[in-house]
Amino acid sequence: MTRVVVTDHAFGDVSDEAAVAERHGAEFAVHQCRTEEETVEAVRGADVAFVNFAPATRAVLSAMADGAAVIRYGIGYDNVDVAAAAELGITVANVPDYGVDTVADHTVACLLTLLRRLPRFDRAVHRDGWCAPRDLGSVPGFASTTIGLVGLGQIGLAVAKRLAPFGFTVLAHDPYADLDAAAAHGVRPSELDELLGGADAVSLHAPLTAETSKLLDAAAFERMREGAFLVNTSRGGLVDQEALADAVESGRIAGAALDVFDPEPLATDSRLREFPEVLLTPHAAFFSDSSLAALQRLAAEEADRALSGKPLRCPVR
């Protein structure tokens, strides 16, 4: 019998996924897997697996039915062994366009919050009753502020679009960028070192690959403009978290807003938890009622294609 499985999810319900299974007369099961062992048992014999953060390793993929499909809830798929999937004849798809606007909104909210020093002002008023704005240092106007975007895909471009009305200068580093799209959004392409040295705030929008793992390490923080800010709503592995903690502690980096971590959840003893200059959100940049509805609908539509023998809309391998 055809089998459809949700390995793990963070939604109120999985009615879209269940409806697809019912339409194809498939057995349907929902789990909250965390370990490889749990996931292997959950997907055994499955024709379609919806995967959120559960590890889709070679062992997991090997337990699935021949010609199965893995549908990753979201954009990134670094928890799926795509090389093993290709060897095993398993198709992997993601949902790259469900939450572009929501992630861009969250990113820009973080950038504006940091650049306007809102956390510092808030703490001063709570702690001391009041303060003179100048007491907390310089706050440049947005028209004299440069934002550097590392990655200029759909989300990076959506961030650039939202930044434009504020008058920022926007640089972007992306070897694969559409230069015409960059120009249309008022973005100037830049080499990474130029961007790091020239930006007052750096925002990450790159995929996590072997080449981008810990892209921002101790050496990169040394190349950044002193007193700059960092925002990461992309993948936690892009940042060397210990090096970032060192840079914040030394004052090299004035502050950061982090929505993603490596590993997740952020370790309870992480030094990043100690700094009031570091804003932490729980991998929530994607989260809104509309984005979650779109994510589940688009994932379910992809599963429907897989079960119908049709080409997938967004295969990654």
Could you give the residue numbers annotated as active site? Answer: 235, 264, 283
Classify 280 in phi/psi space as left (phi over 0), alpha (psi -120 to 50) or beta: beta
Write out the E strands in 101-218: 146-150, 169-173, 187-189, 201-204
- CB atoms near residue 277 (< 10 Å): 20
Distance CA 100, CA 270 (A): 29
DSSP H stretches of helix in 209-316: 218-223, 241-250, 289-308
Distance CA 107, CA 101 (A): 10
Distance CA 293, CA 286 (A): 11
Residue in the block written with tokens 């008023």: 125
Distance from chain centroid for Cα 153 = 12
Structure tokens at 39: 């996931």
Classify 247 in phi/psi space as left (phi over 0), alpha (psi -120 to 50) or beta: alpha
